[in-house]
Chain A
Amino acid sequence: MGGKDAGDIDRDEHDHAIWEKRVDALRQVASDAGYFTVDGLRRALEDMGEEAFETMTYYERWMLATCQNLMAGGAFTTEELNAKMEEVKARGATYGDAQG
């Protein structure tokens, strides 16, 4: 990234949503449990390509990278994740409803 883009630096700052903090926490506990290294996380982020940087937020990309690494590490299967995501969605329309 060094030396490329030359846009304005947006100095706006907000605290993080609870779901974002949880993404960070999940990354940490999964890494501590040996499912992947921080390097694996970065590699997964890089593999997403430039477009992901434009279309996804920081923690959305981290969530996907963490998930990919967990699946590669055998923490759960794609089918288990798929079924669980459907179950979560069915709980309700907001994050508050769905978090159980």
Chain B
Amino acid sequence: MSLPAVTPPDFPPPYPQGKPNLSPGQVVRVRSGAAPGHIRTPWYLRGKTGVIERICGAFGNPEELAYNRIDGPEVPLYRVRFTMREVWGDTTERAQDTIDAEIFEHWLEAV
């Protein structure tokens, strides 16, 4: 497991947070999953382990919004940082370069 250094911001997110179950600095794994539909968890990050960089806020679930179902609960959204080594293995340009992506809580598991 190759984990990135993360310095969570010292300011809160400027958007309502809802009830986040995960915290900045926490190690998380992106779930695997292959359902059809509109999913904003990129394929190249599924199954990978990273560190939460910040809580972005809580927002409507795009999987539901995609079908114009707008009344569902908002879901906490996190910026998660991954090392290039973790995502691409040995063929990466520089192991400790990183990718930050926004992942919804239901796609993350605490490690």
Find out whether the CB atom of A42 lies under 8 angstroms from the CB atom of B88: no
In this complex, which of A35, A40, A46 has the most chain B Cβ atoms within 10 angstroms of its Cβ?
Answer: A40
Tally the A-B contacts, defined by beta carbons under 8 Å. 33
Find out whether the CB atom of A39 lies under 8 angstroms from the CB atom of B44: no
Contact of B66 among A2, A3, A40, A73 (CB under 8 A): A40
A68 at the interface (CB under 8 A from B): no
Contact residues in B for A46 (Cβ distance below 8 Å):
38
Known: A2-B42, A3-B44, A46-B38. A39 touches B65 (CB 8 A): yes
Bin chain A's interface residue count: 10 to 19
The complex places the Cα of A71 from the Cα of B36 at a distance, in Å, of 22
Q: How many chain B residues touch the partner (CB < 8 A)?
A: 15
Contact of A73 among B38, B43, B44, B68 (CB under 8 A): B68
The complex places the Cα of A46 from the Cα of B37 at a distance, in Å, of 9
A62 at the interface (CB under 8 A from B): no
Find out whether the CB atom of A37 lies under 8 angstroms from the CB atom of B42: no
B residues with a Cβ closer than 8 A to A are: 37-38, 42-45, 60, 62, 65-68, 70, 87-88
A residues with a Cβ closer than 8 A to B are: 2-3, 35-37, 39-40, 42-43, 46, 72-73
